[in-house]
């Protein structure tokens, strides 16, 4: 139960989990939702990081987390064994979705512009964002003819 995990963490705040190499772990994952063995209800799945497709199973009705073979070792390797309760929160899951979305857009722009032009665009964007006259600079750049009072 997650309450037991939190109680254990409070009693052992100095505990550090040993590092494990992520590549050497063969963790199993289930595709669909699992049935809670205690209540018979459907368990929710929670992603652990944006780069790891594994999801842990959680039964909100009993506050229980069920880990498949190798998932605990994977949490340790990812440096998340001490954050199990955080993984189950909306802010954690929202952050993962936001990071995945950012990565998707970055890859889209890199593909669309090419690496060199993408980097130039990022540099110009950062320069413009930090400039004191950014509104005027944007207007200048977006104008069809910035040197004319008529379209």
- Give pLDDT tens digits for 43-81: 999 999 999 888 999 999 998 898 888 888 888 888 888
pLDDT at 1 over 70: no
What percent of the chain has pLDDT above 70?
A: 79
Strands 55-59 and 44-47: antiparallel
- Specify the length of the chain in residues: 151
- Whether 106 and 83 map to the same domain: the answer is no
- Whether 58 and 123 map to the same domain: the answer is no
**Token pair for 110:** 């890199």
Indicate the SS3 state at residue 129: helix
What pLDDT digit, counting tens, does each position of 107-139 carry? 999 999 999 999 999 999 999 999 999 999 999
CA 38, distance to chain mean position in Å, is 30
Asked if residue 148 belongs to a domain, the reply is no
- What pLDDT score was predicted for residue 149? 76
pLDDT at 4 over 90: no
- Whether 17 and 68 map to the same domain: the answer is yes
Range of the domain at 30: 2-89
Asked if residue 151 belongs to a domain, the reply is no
- Whether 8 and 73 map to the same domain: the answer is yes
């Amino acid at each position: 139960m997650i309450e037991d995990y939190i109680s254990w963490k409070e009693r052992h705040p100095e505990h550090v989990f040993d590092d494990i190499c992520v590549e050497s772990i063969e963790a199993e994952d289930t595709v669909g939702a699992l049935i809670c063995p205690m209540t018979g209800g459907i368990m929710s799945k929670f992603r652990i990081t944006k780069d790891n497709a594994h999801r842990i199973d959680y039964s909100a009705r009993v506050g229980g987390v069920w880990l498949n073979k190798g998932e605990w070792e994977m949490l340790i390797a990812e440096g998340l064994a001490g954050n199990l309760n955080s993984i189950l929160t909306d802010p954690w899951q929202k952050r993962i979705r936001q990071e995945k979305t950012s990565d998707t857009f970055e890859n889209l722009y890199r593909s669309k512009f090419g690496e060199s032009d993408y980097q130039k665009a990022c540099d110009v964007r950062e320069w413009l964002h930090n400039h004191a006259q950014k509104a005027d600079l944007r207007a200048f750049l977006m104008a069809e003819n910035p040197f004319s009072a008529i379209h």
